[in-house]
Amino acid sequence: MKKKTAYNNLNDFINELDKAGEVRYIDQLVSPILEISKRTDSESKSAGGGKALYFRNVMGSSFPVATNLFGSQRRIGIALGVNNLDQLSARIKTYFDFNPPKTLKQAFKMLPMAFEAFKFFPRSYRKGTPPCQQVVLKDDQVDLSILPVIQCWPKDAGRFITLPLVITKSLKTGKHNMGMYRMQIYDKNTTGMHWHIHKDGAHYFNEYVQAGKRMPVAVAIGADPATIYAATAPMPQGLDEIIMAGFIRKKPVRMTKCLTIELEVPTEAEFVLEGYVDPQEHRREGPFGDHTGYYSLADDYPVFHVTAITHRRHPVYITTLVGRPPMEDCYLAKATERLFLPMLQTVFPEIADYHFPWEGVFHNIVIVAIDKEYPGHAHKIMNGLWGQGQMSFCKTIVIVDKQVNPHDTHAVLDTLLTKLDISSDITIAKGILDVLDHASPFPNFGSKLGIDLTKRFRNESPRIEIKRALTRKYLLSHDTVKNLILSDVPGVSGCQLMAEKSMEQQPTQNAIMAVSIEKKLNRSGKAFATDILKLDDLSVYNIFILFDKTIDLGDAPLMLWKLFNNVDPERDITIHNGRVVIDASIKGPTDDHFREWPEELTFDLHTNSPLC
């Protein structure tokens, strides 16, 4: 089935979703304070991502609100005009195959050509009044309260614009950037500007800080789906996301000059906020319920002053809700995963495929399948990826052979159970981390974990195999294990054997035990690890993972999410005599973690606390 690629605007896209039966219209009056987000959260976590939601009547505003438009495999395909996301990467790969770059830097420089830049370069609008400027509000007319901006989570600092296309220009090079940075509404004409230190927006902002000049900023809200997606993509610095949008659309994006600043915005935008950021002004922003599933903590960020609001005559306000996966942003992230694979393969042709599990919230773990050719090949890939662009933020890299499908969770788990040698397959390194990582003792910097599950070559140290392959019959009964741990390890409240089905299907080298703990009396994760590893009667179990006692040990996605989010490898992994204990529980000063630990997102204010 041929998909439509070049939507004119957001309404055009919504109409296409409607024809496909992918929109649920809600006519009853709803509040932008939590009610829209509660409904969106429930919908996005339903089977297959649920439906897109269109709220026709929003309290306090005359504009409708659309959410979850990209939140399913089918809808992201409709948005980007493909039946399969790999079709986009195939278009780029075809170009690189004919014009192979020698380095990743060369590959990035060739991207505009791969995107057929001259064909899809943005065009200026020249047909009279642009749709995004059909209504103009300037000076005293500026009032952000006309927008139906939602409050996402109960402990958010206020209402946040969550799908803004923030457009900036380098003071030095004149190059444009379009990024997506949340914006907290402060009052009728100011918002926060939450660009992280590693983002292009922040990089350009620093140029204005050094020059002591105000920075012009334009914010588009709502556009054609390819343009919205492009703002989320981790493009290399200096490459225009609008060209990428044109490549996806197979048609250039029309741009319009702003009225009060020297920037251009997508002509078909629903709303446009024009204004500036003063390099000397910062204000407290946050907390905010983020895509990690936790509240990102409050901090000081630049302030955006709105000098004009323009919009279409009948605009639709588009927003998104992020939180513990699966959510709408998971599908946008999956598009990025597939689109950027051929670029990595230009420098690492041995990479057959890779996969970012949703539970890792896109920066905590990646599984990479390689065509291994020589000793140490897996480590070469680990170190190479930790030095490449946005991949450098990834905390955990698992390397498997190309015969293992990285998207098949069970196949990867089976490989880990049957191959992992704790004494030789685990590497701990250090490097930069995503700003939202909360497990490291230090902001933006910490330890990383590499796991090599590839076959051994000559001149690589052989894996140490335990004396017998484990099956269920070799393991102690659940009650026996529980009694041993409960009686000998203070603070343990329960345990559960993990991956039982895999052990029933084939013998394994490893047995994983999940353990519920409560950190009382200043007992650290290290103390639990020491006590558990002393239990000789449990020597058949060689991997223990510690969780807070509130965690359901039967909920595998929940445990994986906690494991990937809550671990600083250097501090929280204890290895002794081929056995390992991983502390995936909440950390505090007893664990030498003196940063504030964020709260988990929930709409129930009575059951959420970061305290152990």
Catalytic residues: 290
Can you tell me the distance from the alpha carbon of 23 to that of 35, in angstroms, rounded to the nearest whole number? 18
What ranges in 420-555 are assigned the alpha helix state H? 478-488, 500-505, 525-533
Greatest alpha-carbon pair distance for the chain in Å reads 81
Q: What φ, ψ does residue 237 adopt, rounded to 5°?
A: -60, 135
Is the separation of the CB atoms in 464 and 432 below 8 Å?
Answer: no
For 90, the enclosing helix (H) or strand (E) is: helix 86-98
Can you tell me the distance from the alpha carbon of 546 to that of 121, in angstroms, rounded to the nearest whole number? 52
Is the separation of the CB atoms in 297 and 287 below 8 Å?
Answer: yes
Can you tell me the distance from the alpha carbon of 205 to that of 357, in angstroms, rounded to the nearest whole number? 33
Q: Per the structure block, which two tokens stand in for 432?
A: 């930069």
Residue 48 DSSP code: G
| Residues contacting residue 2 through CB under 8 Å, at least 6 positions apart | none
Q: What's the gap between Cα 334 and its chain centre?
A: 9
Give the strand order in the sheet containing 264-266: 123-124, 254-257, 264-266
Strands 543-548 and 579-583 come out as: parallel
Can you tell me the distance from the alpha carbon of 45 to that of 72, in angstroms, rounded to the nearest whole number? 10
In degrees to the nearest 10, what's the CA dihedral of 140, 142, 146, 149?
-140
Helix then strand then coil, % of the chain, to nearest 5: 30, 25, 45
Q: What φ, ψ does residue 516 adopt, rounded to 5°?
A: -90, 135
Alpha carbon distances (Å) from 236 to 44, 111, 177, 241, 583: 30, 9, 10, 10, 35
Can you tell me the distance from the alpha carbon of 553 to that of 493, in angstroms, rounded to the nearest whole number? 11
Q: Per the structure block, which two tokens stand in for 203?
A: 């990089």
Length of the chain measured in residues:
612
Amino acid at 207: E
Neighbours of 35 (CB within 10 A): 16
Give the strand order in the sheet containing 365-370: 351-355, 365-370, 396-401, 445-452, 426-432
Can you tell me the distance from the alpha carbon of 17 to that of 79, in angstroms, rounded to the nearest whole number? 9
Residue 538 DSSP code: G
Can you tell me the distance from the alpha carbon of 174 to that of 301, in angstroms, rounded to the nearest whole number? 24
Q: What φ, ψ does residue 526 adopt, rounded to 5°?
A: -60, -40
* Nearest residue to 329 (alpha-carbon basis) of 85, 571, 45: 45
